Structure 1
Amino acid sequence: MNKQEMISEISTKVGGTKKDAGIYPDAVVETITEALAKHEKIALVGFGTFEARHRDARIARNPQDGTVKFRFQRCMFLALRQAKH
């Protein structure tokens, strides 16, 4: 399901226009993004938990000769832990 299909489903279930229903997915994504930028966890019961985690700096090497190919800096990444059903 893509974003437009999701908006159509929301407008059908809520009973509004597609333009009005388009506000909801954007608001949810924006809220999650802002909370993760503040290093907060977001727990959605029955779905899962979003959190921002740190990935340490590391070096990627060519396995055949051992030469250094890339140096990755420390960074943040999104983690989603699924809810147990």
Structure 2
Amino acid sequence: MNKKELIESIADAADISKGAAEKALNGTLAAIAETLKKGDKVTLVGFGTFSVSKREARDGRNPRTNEVIKIPAKNIAKFKAGSKLSEAIN
């Protein structure tokens, strides 16, 4: 499912226009991103938890030249599925 299909699904389920569904989805995604940017986590009970994890700097290797390269530290987004979501897919 892509974003367009998700918007159509939300519009049908909530009986709203596709434009309103798109605004709602974009607002939700922006709020999640902004919260993660602050370093906080977002918990949707039963669905799952979005969180941020820090990945430390490390050495890597260029597979072509076998040269050692420095990979910088960065923050990564994580998602852990909740119980209801896990039950729904199993």
Structure 1 residue runs of 4 or more that deviate by more than 2 Å after TM superposition? none
Q: 1:15 to 1:71 in 2, by over 3 A?
A: same
TM-score of the superposition, structure 1-length normalised? 0.84
% same residue: 33
Q: Distance in 1 between matches of 2:79 and 2:16?
A: 31
Q: 1:56 to 1:16 in 2, by over 3 A?
A: same
Greater gyration radius? 1
Structure 1: any 5+ residue segments left out of the alignment?
none
Q: How many aligned residue pairs are there?
A: 83
What is the CA RMSD across the aligned residues, in angstroms? 1.9
Shift of residue 21, structure 1, vs aligned partner:
1.3
Partner secondary structure for residue 12 of structure 2: helix
Structure 2: any 5+ residue segments left out of the alignment?
none
Higher percent of residues as helix:
2
